[in-house]
């Protein structure tokens, strides 16, 4: 038994998951709920086992299949880096396999019911694409599975295709996915041209000049950044993630966009190898912009899943900030500091996969019971869905980077890396990195405000609709999937030194260094650089919190008089109503006023008055819509140019076969002239 055997077993289980969905569902729909997701669960377990074995054992294994043309064999490889991402993917598959059977059953009910076989088939292909690209060791295999992941993702986004918004989101997703893939091909083309072949081993040995290395980096950064949702290439993400089924949204945000991070790390740190600090500046700038703009756009949303989608952009920005600082430190000869920043980026990659999948599954649970996307139609769900509310709160605390959960650790490590900028000799770099760290601190504060809004308006207060008022808790399987992710968020926050020690083979592989001081004080203390500089003990934080809250509860309960219950103060208006509560728009209004230049805001107030000499106000209607400047400045002008060009060349569509043959003949002559 080897990690490859487990990885191949995971692929077989994934294919069986799709096969069950394809063959058995039409006659036995229950098989999809159990059989298909059962094989998906086995696939997740095999991925975790294979990836964990390669990572913890510091193994690098290669395999080869003579498929296709004789000179185009398929090269496969599993190493600590791919093992880390296999563990990430497998963990999410385990949670989704527990969550999915009950959730997908709801899709077969009601007026908007959907057939389940396409969902099961394309989910299997989607997962297969991610598994395959993580094992790929040449550009051909990588791009085949990359396209499989992207194309199957298109059908998952367009699954509920009766809605025009879903079809539009799927088209935008597919368009940018293929643009990104073309740029990735250019990056591989540069490396293959100098390496003399398509295998990654040949690309690692390619003698690249600084100019060609920079071209290869730029293509990889743009191509993989498009898949990750980096600003300004992010416009597909807030459109696609909200309209996909919620367990697919969890896989997209938790795993698919991380494939972009994997590709970026693989090409830049592994295949190109010798990073330049100028590249790090580019990555840092785009990462900082993504983190700040992502959270500001999220604050303006009132659709819960769209809000979570924008937060994926924010967290991708934080990951890119860590990668950028790592390149800056490595390019200036500071190997240990570059390793610290790389660990921070990879740790946040894992953490974001866990808490963002948890939040999307939580949003799916709310949708499952209330059929409401809009926060302004929710409220009071903590009384109707208490377990879901608790698990969603865990995700909110984790993504807000509050101890003792995992989000705090990775952001704290990112700050620790930024604080070491004094070691750099370049004054511009010493000023830029602290400025980026200050913006990261602002991002953290805004993220906390955003999730106070999301949780408070959705789960607290009074229900704003009939469905919400009569909601009930979701089935046990859905709670189990969310509970597993919530427990991991706590575990990775309490035992960060153990996780970072397990990640040492990755940094050894990529930058030939590890963090020996990080775990020098044992599992109780995390010391990124040295104990004298900074240290953090998550177990002690948890113990202190338990003692404070426990003793506080005991003392308060001991001396407290019997509670007197009465109606809350209603200011004399005769009872509280849902209309007296803050709406999502009202909650974010102060932030919108402060950062008003970040969006294009359309704000309208319509007043309905009575007729007569003394008109009275009968009703008010307030409308607010915020537009993304990236879309207005970048994508709409391109769309208009494409439309104008299409109109200009429309004259060739004459309907005459002789004209078409002439065009084909002339085109063939031109190509023959170019080739010759």
pLDDT at 182: 94
Which of 2-16, 25-39, 82-96, 138-152 comes out lowest in average pLDDT? 25-39
For 82, half-sphere exposure in the C-beta direction (CA atoms, 13 angstrom radius) is: 25
**Predicted local distance difference test score (pLDDT) of residue 461:** 86
- Determine the Cα–Cα distance for residues 259 and 660; give it in Å rounded to an integer: 42
DSSP β-bridge partners for residue 595: none
In this prediction, residue 625 carries a pLDDT of: 77
- Whether the predicted pLDDT of 25 surpasses 60: no
pLDDT of residue 254: 93
The three-state secondary structure class of 548 is: helix
Q: Residue 213 has what pLDDT?
A: 93
- For residue 13, pLDDT beyond 90: yes
* Residues 80, 98, 104, 132, Cα dihedral to 10°: 20
pLDDT of residue 27: 61
Quote the tokens at residue 361. Answer: 């599954």
Per-residue pLDDT at 656: 73
- Give the model's pLDDT for residue 154: 94
Q: What average pLDDT score do residues 643-662 get?
A: 75
DSSP string, 421-447: GGG-S-HHHHHHHHHHHHHHHHHHHHH
Q: Where are the alpha helices (DSSP H) in 24-115?
A: 30-31, 37-56, 80-106
Q: Does residue 232 have a cis bond before it (omega within 30 degrees)?
A: yes
Over the stretch 463-508, which tens digit does the pLDDT of each residue have?
888 888 888 999 999 999 999 999 999 999 998 988 998 999 999 9
Calculate the average pLDDT of the chain. 88
Kindly state the average pLDDT of the residues 13-20: 90
Asked if pLDDT for residue 570 goes beyond 80, the answer is: no
pLDDT digits (tens, 9 = 90+) for 51-67: 999 999 999 999 888 87
pLDDT bin (cut points 50, 70, 90) of residue 577 is confident
pLDDT-above-90 percentage for the chain: 53
Q: What is the DSSP letter of 298?
A: H
pLDDT range class, residue 670, cuts 50, 70, 90 = confident
What confidence score (pLDDT) does residue 130 get? Answer: 96
């Amino acid at each position: 038994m080897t990690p490859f055997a487990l990885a191949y077993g995971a692929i077989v289980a994934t294919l069986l998951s799709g096969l069950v969905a394809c063959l058995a569902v039409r006659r036995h729909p229950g098989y999809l709920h159990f059989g298909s997701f059962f094989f998906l669960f086995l696939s997740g377990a095999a991925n975790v086992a294979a990836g964990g074995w390669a990572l913890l054992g510091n193994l690098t294994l290669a395999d080869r299949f003579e498929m296709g043309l004789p000179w185009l064999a398929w090269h496969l490889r599993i190493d600590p880096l791919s093992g880390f991402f296999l563990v990430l993917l497998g963990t999410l598959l385990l949670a989704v396999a527990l969550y999915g059977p009950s959730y997908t059953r709801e899709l077969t009910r009601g007026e908007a019911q959907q057939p389940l076989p396409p969902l099961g088939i394309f989910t299997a292909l989607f997962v297969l694409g991610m598994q395959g690209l993580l094992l790929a060791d040449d550009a051909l295999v990588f791009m085949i599975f990359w396209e499989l992941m992207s194309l199957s993702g298109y059908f998952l986004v367009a699954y509920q295709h009766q809605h025009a918004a879903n079809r539009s989101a799927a088209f935008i997703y597919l368009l940018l996915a293929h643009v990104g893939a073309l740029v990735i091909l250019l990056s591989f083309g540069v490396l293959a041209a100098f390496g003399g072949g398509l295998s990654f081993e040949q690309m690692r040995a390619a003698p690249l000049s600084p100019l060609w290395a920079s071209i290869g980096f730029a293509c990889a950064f743009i191509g993989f950044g498009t898949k990750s949702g980096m600003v300004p290439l992010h416009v597909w993400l807030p459109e696609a993630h909200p309209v996909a089924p919620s367990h697919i949204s969890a896989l997209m945000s938790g795993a698919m966009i991380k494939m972009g991070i994997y590709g970026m790390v693989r090409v830049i740190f592994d295949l190109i190898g010798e990073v330049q600090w100028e590249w790090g500046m580019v990555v840092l700038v785009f990462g900082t912009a993504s983190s700040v703009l992502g959270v500001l756009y999220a604050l303006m949303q009132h659709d819960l899943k769209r809000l979570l989608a924008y937060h994926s952009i924010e967290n991708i920005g934080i990951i890119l900030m860590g990668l950028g600082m790592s390149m800056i430190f490595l390019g200036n000869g500071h190997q240990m500091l570059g390793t610290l920043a790389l660990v921070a980026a990879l740790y946040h990659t894992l953490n974001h996969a866990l808490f963002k999948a948890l939040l999307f599954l939580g949003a799916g649970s709310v949708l499952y019971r209330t059929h409401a996307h809009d926060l302004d139609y929710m409220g009071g769900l903590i009384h109707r869905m208490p377990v879901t509310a608790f698990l969603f709160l865990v995700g909110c605390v984790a993504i807000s980077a509050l101890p003792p959960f995992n989000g705090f650790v990775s952001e704290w490590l990112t700050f620790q890396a930024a604080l070491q900028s004094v070691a750099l000799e370049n004054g511009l770099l010493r000023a830029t990195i602290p400025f980026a760290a200050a913006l990261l601190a602002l991002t953290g504060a805004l993220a906390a405000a955003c999730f106070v809004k999301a949780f408070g308006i959705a789960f607290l207060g009074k229900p704003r609709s009939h469905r919400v008022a009569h909601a009930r808790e979701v089935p046990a399987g859905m709670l189990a999937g969310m509970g597993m992710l919530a427990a991991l968020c706590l575990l990775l926050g309490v035992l960060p030194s153990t996780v970072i020690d397990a990640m040492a083979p990755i940094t050894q592989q990529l930058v030939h260094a590890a963090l020996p001081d990080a775990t020098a004080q044992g599992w109780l203390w995390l010391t990124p650089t040295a104990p004298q500089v900074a240290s953090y003990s998550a177990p002690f934080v948890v113990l202190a919190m338990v003692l404070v809250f426990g003793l506080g509860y005991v003392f308060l309960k001991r001396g407290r008089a019997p509670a007197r219950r009465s109606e809350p103060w209603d200011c004399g208006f005769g009872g509280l109503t849902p209309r007296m509560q803050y709406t999502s728009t009202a909650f974010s209004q102060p932030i919108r006023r402060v950062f008003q230049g970040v969006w294009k805001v359309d704000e309208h107030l319509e007043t309905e008055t009575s007729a007569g000499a003394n008109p009275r106000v009968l009703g008010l209607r307030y409308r607010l819509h915020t537009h993304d400047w990236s879309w207005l400045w970048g994508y709409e002008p391109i769309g208009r140019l494409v439309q104008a060009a299409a109109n200009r060349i429309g004259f060739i569509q004459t309907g005459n076969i002789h004209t078409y043959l002439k065009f084909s003949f002339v085109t063939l002559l031109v190509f023959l002239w170019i080739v010759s």
